[in-house]
């Protein structure tokens, strides 16, 4: 069902053009691709500092997560001249392990929560899981917008749930994953982005990387455009995170270029821009300092 005219989000939606011209988006992406051939060494270092280093495997355990965290500590402690990851992202049951063992200044503990990756559980369960993650040391929470409810037009339900989770997070960072490749079209991507921001999201994020859900430059550009329009309307800056299927340095650099060209250089810092990945970290470290298999 579509939102009702008296729905409190109808007014918010009415402030934005939600009919995205997909051909224009594709042309803009190609133009951005042509601007620069590849990152400099300084830009490679900055890319490393935007990463949320992520381990979300079924085989994770307290032992493997602790070993991973200790490897991160050793590498960045011995390379203080290289920007450290923005965060380490794990399941909520490992929040305490990461938060108590991380020794790198300004590197945050992030947790997926709220029935990740499907978001198919009760709001009360999502609230409890999020509260437990924060209690155990999570600085940042990544939740998934319930895609099925969005496609069914249950906007009030989704908005209420996201606002409740933001209330639980309080001053912690809340990232809302839109699952852009499951939304059907770019107009829905923009609508979901607007809804998430009006519901309190501090970041909007492309994808979980699960169920063939991946980031695309086109969806990411539309999200950047929505953030720009929202900031102009409200004065509030919302961050953006690309995640899901980002496996090469050139792919990651393209997302940086989209941010720079759409939102400006002021968004190119870890407070407003992230890339969620683990496999990319090793490639970047090898390019920056020639070391392999260190993390």
- The reply to whether 175 belongs to the active site is no
Catalytic residue among 46, 166, 190, 205: 205
Structure tokens at 258: 């989209």
Query: How far, in Å, CA of 21 to CA of 23, rounded?
Result: 6
- The reply to whether 142 belongs to the active site is yes
Taking phi first (over 0 means left), then psi (-120 to 50 degrees means alpha), and beta for anything else, what does residue 119 get?
Answer: left
Query: How far, in Å, CA of 118 to CA of 103, rounded?
Result: 32
> Please, which residues have CB within 8 angstroms of residue 102's CB and are 6 or more apart in sequence?
69, 72, 73, 88, 109
Catalytic residue among 46, 191, 241, 270: 241
Q: Are 25 and 180 in contact (CB under 8 A)?
A: no
Q: Are 87 and 107 in contact (CB under 8 A)?
A: yes
Query: How far, in Å, CA of 109 to CA of 137, rounded?
Result: 7
Local structure of residue 79 (DSSP, 8 states): -
Catalytic residue among 142, 191, 260, 270: 142
Burial per residue of 195-215, b for 16 or more beta-carbon CB atoms within 10 angstroms, e otherwise: bbbbbbbbbbbbbbbeeebbb
Active-site residue list: 142, 205, 241
């Amino acid at each position: 069902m579509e939102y009702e005219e008296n729905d409190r989000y109808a007014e918010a939606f009415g402030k934005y053009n939600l009919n995205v011209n997909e051909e224009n988006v594709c042309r803009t992406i190609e133009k951005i691709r042509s601007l620069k051939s590849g990152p400099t060494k300084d830009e490679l270092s900055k890319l490393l500092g935007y990463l949320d280093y992520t381990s979300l495997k079924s085989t994770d355990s307290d032992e493997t997560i602790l070993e991973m965290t200790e490897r991160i500590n050793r590498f960045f402690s011995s390379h203080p001249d290289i920007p450290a990851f923005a965060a380490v992202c794990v399941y909520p049951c490992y929040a305490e392990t990461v938060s108590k063992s991380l020794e790198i200044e300004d590197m945050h503990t992030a947790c997926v929560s709220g029935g990740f990756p499907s978001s198919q559980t009760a709001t009360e369960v999502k609230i409890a899981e999020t509260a437990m993650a924060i209690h155990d040391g999570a600085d940042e929470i990544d939740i998934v917008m319930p895609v099925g409810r969005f496609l069914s037009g249950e906007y009030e339900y989704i908005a209420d749930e996201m606002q409740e989770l933001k209330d639980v997070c309080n001053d912690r960072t809340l990232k809302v994953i839109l699952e852009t490749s499951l939304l059907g079209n770019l107009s829905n991507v923009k609508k979901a982005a607007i809804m998430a921001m009006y519901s309190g999201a501090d970041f909007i994020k492309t994808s979980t990387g699960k169920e063939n859900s991946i980031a695309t430059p086109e969806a990411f550009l539309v999200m950047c455009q929505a953030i720009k329009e929202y900031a102009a309307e409200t004065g509030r800056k919302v961050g953006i995170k690309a995640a899901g299927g980002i496996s090469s340095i050139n792919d990651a650099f393209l997302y940086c270029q989209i941010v720079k060209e759409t939102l400006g250089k002021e968004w190119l810092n870890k407070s407003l821009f992230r890339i969620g990945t683990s496999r990319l970290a090793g490639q970047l470290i090898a390019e920056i300092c020639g070391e392999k298999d260190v993390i």
